[in-house]
């Protein structure tokens, strides 16, 4: 007789424990080191070779295998079944999402701004024609989604031309991330006609705290007035929020306000340590984003991709107002090239981008020894920014699990 995990299951070993990934249900089952060794032995021999089921001391192992049968992740076979197929390499990622940071100028001076934007006449180096060409190049490379950001993108004189170019190229998703203080009635009409989506940020449910973050008196009132106009005209809107020391008591208020407005409610994000955000003085003392913790879920596709590609970075790039191509708007020091000296196709085919998109948890400190590494999310810019030495492969920030002890820390 033989015991084998089903073909839709995979055993992943960590330093101290292991996990069975049930790719049919998406569930991840934690098991101890002894169970890992038992399953490894079962997959290389018969049950008779692995254990004598008549011996009382082996009854716990028998009970464990019976439990796996009940959970429908394994079965007993009379004849030796075929070995599990190896994890198949998925199709190489292609460009899917493109951020265009069309200006570094902004009428706000937010405390945490990752690009250190503000009203101080930053020099934007990418001419309009190069932006238009980049939009065409992005679509040719496979991108289906584009977001115009800044700074404040509505301060860029030709932002409408870029939107119209994206429409002409056939992008399926066009979004402008704006602080929503400058939107006019004519802009509202333009958004409606061209199917533009919007995203904005609020830092509190009141002007006193919100304006303390933006350093722009009156910004809360302007943003809220335009949010209501946007929603009244049925323009798709996302509202994001970031928590720092100045507004760390506002998380619940922000989520309540989003609920009242009728937009999707999500917990506020944490500051990315880049730009003005790389300042310990602005970090909250108590608020943290909900920690990484079980239960974990995945899928056949995501499990396979996690072996070869980064769960967030693969398929995305950002282009800054100086033409630098970076893997994420927060990864400011990870230059992959510059569109002022190279075509986008050349940069996409370059070794730097290929290496970046292929950054997996198998390379990341601590994560590589964790049994949950193929089901866990990851933000490389946050990990790097939170590391004292600013290492790109530093362990994920906010993880409370110690794979070397198999113990979750108490986050109370």
Give per-residue pLDDT as tens, 231-279. Answer: 999 999 999 999 999 999 999 999 999 999 999 999 999 899 999 999 9
The pLDDT of residue 48 is above 90 = no
pLDDT at position 121, please? 67
Residue 267's SS3 state is coil
Burial of 91 (0-12, 13-18, 19+ CB in 10 A): exposed
Count other Cβ atoms within 10 Å, centred on residue 291: 12
Mean pLDDT over residues 288-315, rounded? 89
Place of tokens 């909250």: 284
Examine residue 295 and say whether the peptide bond preceding it is cis (omega within 30 degrees of 0): yes
pLDDT at position 52, please? 72
Cβ–Cβ under 8 Å, residues 197 and 239: no
Rounded CA separation 354/327 (Å): 10
Rounded alpha-carbon distances, angstroms, from residue 86 to 7, 10, 99: 10, 10, 35
The pLDDT of residue 204 is above 90 = yes
The pLDDT of residue 15 is above 80 = yes
Note the pLDDT tens digit of each residue in 89-108: 888 999 999 999 999 999 99
pLDDT at position 53, please? 61
Place of tokens 């609020």: 202
Q: What angle do CA 168, 170, 174 make, to 5 degrees?
A: 95
Q: How confident is the model at residue 88 (pLDDT cuts 50, 70, 90)?
A: confident
Rounded CA separation 335/328 (Å): 10
Q: How confident is the model at residue 344 (pLDDT cuts 50, 70, 90)?
A: very high
Task: For the chain, give the mean pLDDT.
Answer: 93
Q: By mean pLDDT, which of 54-63, 154-163, 267-276 is the weakest? A: 54-63
Instruction: Tokens for 31, please give them.
Output: 């098991």
Rounded CA separation 358/370 (Å): 18
pTM: predicted TM-score of the whole model, two decimal places: 0.91
Q: What angle do CA 60, 20, 397 make, to 5 degrees?
A: 120
Rounded alpha-carbon distances, angstroms, from residue 395 to 56, 303, 364, 369, 384: 43, 20, 6, 11, 8
316-319 and 269-270 strand pairing: unpaired
pLDDT at position 110, please? 97
Q: How confident is the model at residue 171 (pLDDT cuts 50, 70, 90)?
A: very high
The pLDDT of residue 327 is above 70 = yes
pLDDT at position 101, please? 97
First vs last C-alpha separation in the chain? 48
Q: By mean pLDDT, which of 58-62, 236-240, 330-334, 391-395 is the weakest? A: 58-62
Tell whether the torsion through CA atoms of 279, 213, 163 and 103 is positive or negative: negative
Mean pLDDT over residues 363-388, rounded? 94
Q: How confident is the model at residue 55 (pLDDT cuts 50, 70, 90)?
A: low
């Amino acid at each position: 007789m033989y015991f084998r995990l089903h073909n839709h299951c995979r055993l992943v070993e960590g330093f101290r424990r292991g996990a069975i990934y049930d790719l049919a249900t998406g569930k991840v089952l934690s098991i101890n080191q002894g169970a890992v060794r038992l399953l490894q032995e079962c997959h290389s021999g018969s049950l008779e070779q692995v254990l004598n089921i008549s011996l009382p001391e082996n009854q716990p192992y028998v009970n464990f295998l019976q439990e796996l049968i009940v959970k429908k992740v394994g079965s007993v076979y009379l004849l030796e079944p075929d070995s599990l197929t190896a994890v198949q390499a998925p199709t190489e990622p292609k460009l899917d999402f493109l951020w265009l940071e069309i200006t570094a100028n902004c009428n706000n001076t937010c405390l945490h701004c990752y690009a250190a934007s503000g009203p101080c006449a930053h020099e934007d180096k990418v001419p309009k024609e190069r932006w238009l060409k980049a939009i065409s190049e992005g679509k040719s490379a496979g991108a289906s989604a584009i977001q115009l950001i800044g700074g404040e993108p509505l301060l860029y004189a030709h932002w409408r031309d870029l939107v119209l170019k994206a429409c002409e190229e056939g992008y399926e998703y066009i979004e402008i991330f704006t602080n929503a203080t400058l939107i006019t009635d004519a802009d509202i009409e333009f958004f409606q006609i061209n199917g533009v989506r919007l995203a904005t940020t609020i830092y509190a449910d009141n002007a006193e705290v919100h304006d303390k973050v933006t350093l722009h008196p009156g910004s809360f009132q302007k943003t809220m007035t335009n949010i209501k106009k946007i929603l009244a005209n049925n323009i798709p809107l996302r509202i994001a929020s970031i928590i720092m020391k100045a507004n760390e008591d506002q998380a619940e208020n922000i989520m309540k306000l989003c609920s009242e407005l009728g937009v999707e409610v999500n917990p506020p994000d944490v500051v990315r340590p880049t730009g003005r955000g790389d300042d310990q003085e602005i970090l909250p003392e108590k608020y943290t984003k909900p920690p990484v913790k079980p239960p974990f879920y995945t899928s056949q596709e995501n499990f396979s991709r996690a072996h070869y590609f980064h769960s967030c970075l693969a398929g995305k790039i950002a282009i800054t107002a100086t033409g630098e191509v970076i893997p994420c708007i927060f990864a400011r020091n990870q230059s992959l090239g510059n569109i002022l000296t190279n075509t986008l196709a050349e940069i996409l085919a370059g070794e730097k981008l290929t290496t970046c998109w292929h950054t997996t948890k198998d390379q990341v400190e601590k994560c590589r020894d964790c049994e949950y590494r193929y089901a866990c999310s990851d933000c490389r810019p946050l990990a790097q920014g939170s590391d004292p030495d600013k290492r790109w492969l530093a362990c994920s920030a906010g993880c409370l699990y110690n794979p070397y002890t198999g113990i979750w820390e108490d986050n109370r």
